[in-house]
Amino acid sequence: MKTMIDPALWRDTASTLCVAGLGALMAWGLGLPAYLLTGPALAVSLAGLFGLRMQIAPLARDAAFIVIGIGIGATVTPETTAAMLRWPLAFVVLAVMLWAIMWACARLLRLGFGFDRDSAILASAPGHLSFVIGLSAEAGVDALRVTLVQAVRLLALTLIVPVIARLMGVEIPPNPLSGQGVLGWAAFAALAGVSLILGLGLRRARVPAALLIGAMLVSGLGHGAGVVAGGVAPWLGATCLVALGALIGTRFSGVTFAQLGACLGAGLAVTAMATLISGAVALAVAGYLGLDPVTVLAAFAPGGFETMIALGAVLGGQAGFVAAAHVVRLMILTVLIPAMLGRRSRA
């Protein structure tokens, strides 16, 4: 209750969103791709590193997650389910690839950067950031070090992937949450209400990113069944994407340049290793199954869930494959990360 009425917290939230908004405007002015995400993420990261208090109130974060979840769920169609049935081999390969990325990156962190076993495993996970941070606190590892490596990975993917997509001839729309028409307010309110109830239930069950996942499930089921149609209002989707970019940037609030410098090399090395492995596997899968290479690269990207879904939204007939792959990736990591931690702990 205190966080809902804490004036200092809401002042910081307002300041953070102002910085994020300016970052989005600057990124738009510079012609950067996915500027609603990349601009705020970079601006808030820099502001935090220079000592400004950058944070988002939990209530504002949760509201943004529900809206984003509804928007992402709007990309789910019967095609998404069909994609999982049509290309089962691709998802088997995805599971093996995720294990290979974690094994290789953990080895790199242990041998090249002096990480202990558990820290290396957690820092090498290609996504599922909130889940990883939660496990870090429970495992008794250096949570700041793990978080910084993961934050560098997330920021690098957020900034670099849209540029790579543009170089490959694919333009990511600035607001992909609103590209399928607009939900009526009654339908949106119904989805938001059910999403909140399910999300709170998932949170009680300690599911990571519970409100985001709950909203994705509710919206995805509603859209997939044809009960509702359309994305969120453009202005609302844009606002929440700016908030998401700001949330990415707040990972660096309170972090010094010295702390960042100590983890920057590890974060970039893990990002490069994961990108090389996923890129090679994606191209092989695309060639074997006859799929579009850009589609599979987006589907097999090592993280960047929202950015990859945005990319999938403009890929045409196989967009469902991208959405399905990233949902499956989170499901696999939910099992794989604790399994690797347990196996390593017994080794």
**CA–CA dist 311, 314 (Å, integer):** 6
Between CA 55 and CA 194 the distance in angstroms is 27
Does 137 have pLDDT greater than 70? no
Q: Which of 54-63, 73-82, 318-327 has the weakest average pLDDT?
A: 73-82
% residues pLDDT > 90 (the chain)? 34
CA distance linking residue 212 with residue 132, whole number of Å:
16
Q: In whole angstroms, what is the distance from residue 279 CA to residue 326 CA? A: 15
Condensed to tens digits (0 to 9), the pLDDT of residues 244-297 reads 889 888 888 888 888 888 899 999 999 999 999 999 999 999 888 888 787 888
- Banded model confidence at residue 178, pLDDT cuts 50, 70, 90: low
Query: Is residue 164 assigned to a domain?
Result: yes
42 vs 75: CA distance, rounded Å: 27
Per-residue pLDDT band at 22 (split at 50, 70, 90): very high
Residue with tokens 């769920």: 73
Q: How far apart are CA 176 and CA 159, in angstroms?
A: 16
What is the secondary structure of 119-175 as a DSSP string? HHHHHH-SS-HHHHHHHHHHHTS-HHHHHHHHHHHHHHHHHHHHHHHHHTT-PPPS-
- The answer on pLDDT for 173 being more than 70 is no
Q: Is the pLDDT of residue 93 over 50?
A: yes
Report the chain's mean pLDDT, rounded to a whole number.
83
Total tally of structural domains belonging to the chain = 1
Residue 79 is assigned to a structural domain of this protein: yes
Are 135 and 341 a contacting pair, CB within 8 Å? yes
Taking each helix axis from N to C terminus, what angle separates 129-139 and 117-124, rounded to the nearest 10 degrees?
170
Using pLDDT thresholds of 50, 70 and 90, give the confidence band for residue 344. very low
Give pLDDT, residue 252: 83
pLDDT-derived band of residue 347, with 50, 70 and 90 as boundaries? very low
Least confident span in 109-123, 200-214, 233-247: 200-214
**309, 176 Cβ separation under 8 angstroms:** yes
Q: Provide the token pair at 80.
A: 């998404």
* pLDDT bucket at 220, cuts 50 / 70 / 90: confident
In the prediction, which pLDDT does 121 show?
94
Mean pLDDT, residues 289-311: 77
In a domain, 240, yes or no: no
Q: Tell me the mean pLDDT in the region 219-245.
A: 86
Decide: residue 263, CB within 10 A, 0-12 exposed, 13-18 middle, 19+ buried. Answer: buried
Q: Is 332 a domain residue? A: yes
Task: Out of 13-17, 238-242, 290-294, pick the least confident.
Answer: 290-294
Q: Looking at the predicted structure, is the pLDDT value of residue 346 above 60?
A: no
Question: Quick check: is 139 in a domain?
Answer: yes
Q: What percentage of the chain reaches a pLDDT higher than 70?
A: 83
Burial of 110 (0-12, 13-18, 19+ CB in 10 A): middle
Domain membership of residue 339 as a residue range: 56-230+256-346
pLDDT for 317 beyond 80: no
Strand partners, 231: 182
CA 34/CA 171 separation, integer angstroms: 9
Going by pLDDT thresholds of 50, 70 and 90, the confidence category of residue 161 is confident
Per-residue pLDDT, 4: 62
Length of the chain: 347
pLDDT value at residue 300:
92
CA distance 120 to 171: 35
Q: Is residue 13 part of a domain?
A: no
In a domain, residue 85? The reply is: yes
Among 50-54, 73-77, 203-207, 332-336, the range scoring the smallest mean pLDDT is: 73-77
